[in-house]
Structure 1
Amino acid sequence: MIKSKRWLMACLVLASCGFTATTSPEASLKKVFKNDFLMGAALNGKQASGKDPEATAIITQHFNTISPENVLKWEAIHPQPEKYNFGPADAYVAFGRQHNMFTVGHTLVWHSQTPDWVFEDAHGKAAGKALLQQRMAEHINTVAGRYKGQIGGWDVVNEALNDDGTLRQSKWYTIIGEDYLAQAYQLARKADPKAELYYNDYNLWKPAKREGALRLVRSLQAKGLKVDGIGMQGHWGLESPSIAQIEESIVAFSKVGKVMITELDIDVLPNPSNRNGADIDATFAFDEKYNVYTNGLPEEVQQKLARRYADIFALFHKHREKIARVTFWGVTDADSWLNNWPIKGRTSYPLLFDRTYQPKPALDAVLKSVSKSSSSQ
């Protein structure tokens, strides 16, 4: 018996005995990490409206916070100048309220998935500074104001930085100037003073971009603006970034506010040009050599994915006092945006549940990662 227990502990620490896809019906991510951080998933429109009961079962069992994949992005909720489409967003917020979940708003100001008319005048030419400022104010007042007291935290500005840490030359920047950032946070705070306000971006493990995010948040905070924390998008691969690189950013960002791990998924497929991050404009034509697991994920890769998740969550547990929330970008592999990025039509496997709503070995790995973390400290 003693030998058996020692062997089990060694397996947990080294993940050398492999992970299984079977978990007890009582197993729950939100219960395992209840004293550490919130556990979340991004919902698509069907899930947010309660029309995917199998997904609802997973969501309510495992998660206590939700993010919207698309329903609160500008093109979805405000498609035309005088038209708002509140139905899907209302359903999303109602889902969170019904299940007593911390509900995240994503996102108020972003260069992508924002209709062209936002940046144009009545004649189709580039909008002037005053007009774009007016539109930003009206949008934030209307959307954040509508869900005042119902959305707990907003990704106010999303992906405003280049990988070298400089500000992205988006239309927000080129028309309004750098001050658009401060204005966005000022407007969001006025619309809902009690909501937490975040900055969210990808590739924040890169040193130059990390420093750029720190400069940005500190400069906003120095102006007296409310920025409660930084969302580190976890669009990572099986080997990159390293655990050390992720850890360096968690520690650095904890010095300016809360740290959120957002949009977590692990891409197991080969990537054209070895691209990383989440620039949705960086797409490629379909090529079978980048779609190699159409008939299912080989067991060797399943275990590699599980070990990767085990290592990542052991790190998160180590820094649980710094991390407020960990959110997966999707519920099952079938929902993942990685099926269509950077190449449309791929069969991707980045999450903890497969296309039939069944747990993968990666779920077992995450549930056991607390023991792994505790044993290594």
Structure 2
Amino acid sequence: MKILKSTLIATTLLMGISCKTSNNHKAQETGLRDAYKNSFHVGTALNRDDILQTDSLRSALIGKEFSSITAENIMKSMFMHPEKDVYQFDMSDKYVEFGEKNNMFIHGHTLIWHSQLAPWMRSISDSTEMAQAMESHIKTIVEKYKGRINSWDVVNEALNEDGTLRNSAFYKTIGSEYLAMAFKWAAETDPNTDLYYNDYNLTNKAKRAGAVKLVKDIQSKGIKIDGVGMQGHWHIDSPSIEEIEESILDYANLGVKVAITELDVSVLPNPWNLVGAEISQNFENNKKLNPYPEALPDSMQVKLAKRYSDIFKVFLKHQDKISRVTFWGTSDKESWLNDFPVRGRTNYPLLFDRELKPKAAYDSILALKK
């Protein structure tokens, strides 16, 4: 009896969602950008093709649905600052121009990160030389876009899972002081832009405690830090809604803004229960780990829609603390989760399918604002 009842509920829910999606008229009258304009920015990450606007339909969709943008890759040091005295601003210029053209909140990602680090910077072993390299890198880029980029991820993913500091090239040469130094240089260069610390798994207690300590340490030095970016690389079953809510409150209690960044919800089996976004993780593909190679079953569409709805209910409950909610991409086709942590899988973590059509998950979020 219970099985029949749950099946009926799921079928009814899917029929209701499918009617809206297939008709697609109501869902497209008001996009997320307008629906959430009085709550927080809803954003997406732009890849190289998005920035170059190679697909006019996709460009129009991004402009309609999102009020904020983040650069997925092109602003990382290996691309922007490939050699000590060489900066490449062509793509970042186009990225900022896209945001300005569409009247968007523009986020810079990222100034200091151990991964995708320019090789010349990675090779530095002297603390003074590293500090000079960091200062020049931060000040040159922030100054270049002063008054045009609204917020920055100053430091990205500096913590281990136990909350201790990662043994990055910056930590090895300078020590823990590199964090405060980075925020100090960014604030000196553009005091009017918001400065964030950004990381994954910030709902986990040990890492959360480490992030709280990191922010407090910077604040204790009188240095500006405006927010914490909680990467939302989450799964269909984890973290719990309670963990998400507790984390938002813990960071907000520091007196800083909370941004939900890099949001996507994997629907695929998770090998070895891995969590987060440590990009060095990678595993062989197989049928068990890639159960939906052709399409996502209706039952999973419903489950994903409910998961997104539950998550956004928490965001709306605490909208006074949240500045941005940014999806890590626009459609399933381009999602990095098709290759992480297992290459060649077919994942369905975002709001728009591979043909740019809104999914049940999209409708579930939009319905919260009607």
The CA distance in 2 between the partners of 1:254 and 1:325, in whole Å, is 13
Query: 1:106 is matched by which residue type in structure 2?
Result: H
Question: Which residue does the alignment assign to 1:321?
Answer: 320
Structure 2 residue aligned with 1:215: 213
Aligned with 2:288: secondary structure? Answer: helix
TM-aligned CA deviation for residue 289 of structure 1: 2.2
Letter of the structure 2 residue corresponding to residue 84 of structure 1: Y
Contact 2:14 2:298 survives alignment (8 Å): no
TM-score by length of 2: 0.93
Q: Percent identity?
A: 49
Report the equivalent of 1:186. Answer: 184
Residue matched to 2:6 = none
User: Could you say which residue in structure 1 is the equivalent of 2:262?
Assistant: 263
Q: Counterpart of 1:287? A: 286
Q: How far, CA to CA, are the matches of 1:135 and 1:247 in structure 2?
A: 38
Q: Secondary structure at the match of 1:290?
A: coil
> 1:243 touches 1:311 (CA, 8 Å); kept in 2?
yes
Displacement of 1:15 after TM fit?
6.1
CA distance in 2, matches of 1:131, 1:344: 38
Q: Contact between 1:119 and 1:132, CA under 8 Å: does it hold in 2?
A: no
- What does the per-residue CA deviation read over 1:132-177, in whole Å, with 9 as the maximum and x for residues that have no partner? 1111111111111111111000000001111111111111111110
CA distance in 1, matches of 2:127, 2:102: 42
Deviation at 1:18, TM superposition (A): 5.2
| Contact persistence 2:36–2:42 (CA under 8 A) | yes
Q: CA 1:221–1:33 in 2, change beyond 3 Å: closer, same or farther?
A: same
Equivalent residue runs for 1:224-373 within 5 Å:
224-256=222-254, 257-370=256-369
Q: Distance in 1 between matches of 2:275 and 2:121?
A: 29
- Residue 251 of structure 1 deviates from its aligned partner by 0.8
Amino acid at match of 1:305: L
**Cα RMSD over matched residues?**
1.5
What is the letter of the counterpart of residue 294 of structure 2? N
CA distance, structure 1, for counterparts of residue 155 and residue 42 of structure 2: 22
Q: Which residue of 2 is the match for residue 146 of structure 1?
A: 144
SS of match in other structure, 2:326: strand
Give 1:67's aligned amino acid. T
CA drift of 1:63 comes to 0.7
Q: Distance in 1 between matches of 2:14 and 2:213?
A: 41
Give the Cα separation in 1 of the matches to 2:126 and 2:122. 8
Shift of 1:323: 0.8
Query: 1:203 matched to which residue of 2?
Result: 201
Q: Helix, strand or coil for the counterpart of 1:276?
A: coil
Q: Deviations over 1:262-298 (max 9, x none)?
A: 0000000112111110111111233332122111111
Structure number with higher relative contact order (C-alpha < 8 Å, ≥ 6 residues apart): 1
Q: Which of 96, 101, 115 is the equivalent residue of 1:112?
A: 115
Amino acid at match of 1:356: E
Question: What is the aligned residue count?
Answer: 354
Q: SS of the counterpart of 2:343?
A: coil
* Cα displacement string for residues 211-252 of structure 1 (whole angstroms, at most 9, x for unaligned residues): 111111011011011100101000000110000000000111
Distance (whole Å) between structure 1 residues aligned to residue 204 and residue 362 of structure 2: 27
* Structure 2 residue matching 1:145: 3-state secondary structure: helix
Q: Could you tell me how far 1:57 is from its partner in structure 2?
A: 1.5
Aligned twin of 1:124: none
TM-score under structure 1 length normalisation: 0.91
